[in-house]
A and B are shown apart, each in its own frame.
Chain A
Amino acid sequence: MIEIQHISKSFGDKKILKDISGTFEKGKPNLIIGASGTGKSVLLKCIVELVKPDEGYVFFDRRNFTEANRNGKIEIRREIGMLFQGGALFDSKTVEENVRFPLDMLAVMPKDEKQDRVNLVLNRVGLKGANKKMPSELSGGMRKRVGIARAIVNNPKYLFCDEPNSGLDPQTSILIDELIQVLTSDYDTTTIVVTHDMNSVMGIGENIMFLYQGEKLWEGGKDDITHSGVEQLDDFVFANKVMIAMRGKTS
């Protein structure tokens, strides 16, 4: 479980995040949704302190991350798996070396076991046989999937995914969503997924936080999202032609 309290962040005099609090629970995916540029990625980075929040606290299973010392932070970070919006693959390493990297650096296990683990996760993201490719040879969607494989290879306690299925075709998207959901419940992971894909929201959105221009306007489950009564959220949810027509009928 991750708890955030009163997180605020400005860049220069531009306020990006405004007093955001919330709880992300174990065992089911937690979604952060919102339009482009509302601060979803910045919030995710504030939680792991890649961006230092101006105010507020973050707790990982009641451990105060914000006020932990350097070693305390490292200890918690070693339990984190993170997918970056752009993939963030190490471009001098092959796919296999990228995925194995967290194991090489952090895990103590025999070489064969590492290799098995790497092949297993590559298989799960549908990239069997891409082991020896370089990141520059991959498509955008493939990079993303290698990023996911790298994030989950070490069985993290906390999994962060920044738009895991942007740039993927609908079918692969569903596959990735399901993978995230299964891993989350199987290993009782605390998972936070940033997305603006309504398919994901309706698929795995059990616990959703809606951000609008740096503010948290709503939270709840997918069953309530269509009748939240929040104007901005309705604009976000019903943002395609079919949905707009439906919205017309329901209201």
Chain B
Amino acid sequence: MRSPDPFVPSLFRVDRVWRESADTVTLGLLPIQGEIPAFRSGQFFMLYAFGIGEIPVSVSGLWGQGPLLHTVRAVGPVSQALCRLRPGDTLGVRGPYGSPWPLPQAEGGDLLLIAGGLGLAPLRSALLPALAERERYGRIALLYGARSPADLLFGEERGDWSSRGDLQVEVTVDHASPAWRGSVGVVPARISHTRFAPERAHAFVCGPEVMMRYSAAALLGAGVPPARIFLSLERNMKCAFAVCGRCQFGPTFVCRDGPVFSYDRIARLLSIREL
């Protein structure tokens, strides 16, 4: 149940924990009381590790299909505390917040999902509904880059995706030993090897900002219109509902107007170094 004070989180319990890699886990969360609030792919929740702090984390699953799924990488105090949670532990959750991936807008054309590192988690929440309603889209491709083979997420599920005839999956890593049988190289370089019709394609990109900028440049070079390229931005957040100004990005608030923005809306802002 949602608290009337927007800053007060609801109490959730960890139902399951999946270890994705050495520093990343997926948490399956259930509310102690009431229902999981309705959310859409691309949105995020504020997760509160008691006594430590609160951070924004995107949804990596779907609403109405079991627990609320969040994939968290341990980088600092709060995310480390979240990654240490075990089934039965509790945490605070508030949300959902932010703009979703514009899946309905992408229907009828090709869909490219371009993920870097942990960016696969928010894009998983876009891929699953697109696969569930596969007939609504033209070609679908997932391009996924990570640092090394050991850092690749959702191993088993990726195997299922790769074996589907109706989804092109391109996985590439920055560094590997000769034992790795897959591709080595950066994600933007794989865009020219992807089968899609740029004039009727939408691209959803999520990953470190530099990787997103290079990917957007490669997509533009391939002929995808800027209004059809969507990036999910990360900025530090506090309130998550456009009150505190912490996530201000030029004239926009990432928590309210984003995190998913169309490239034509933010291209100019991305080039301003101070933002």
A and B assemble together: no
Binding site for A on B (CB under 8 A): none
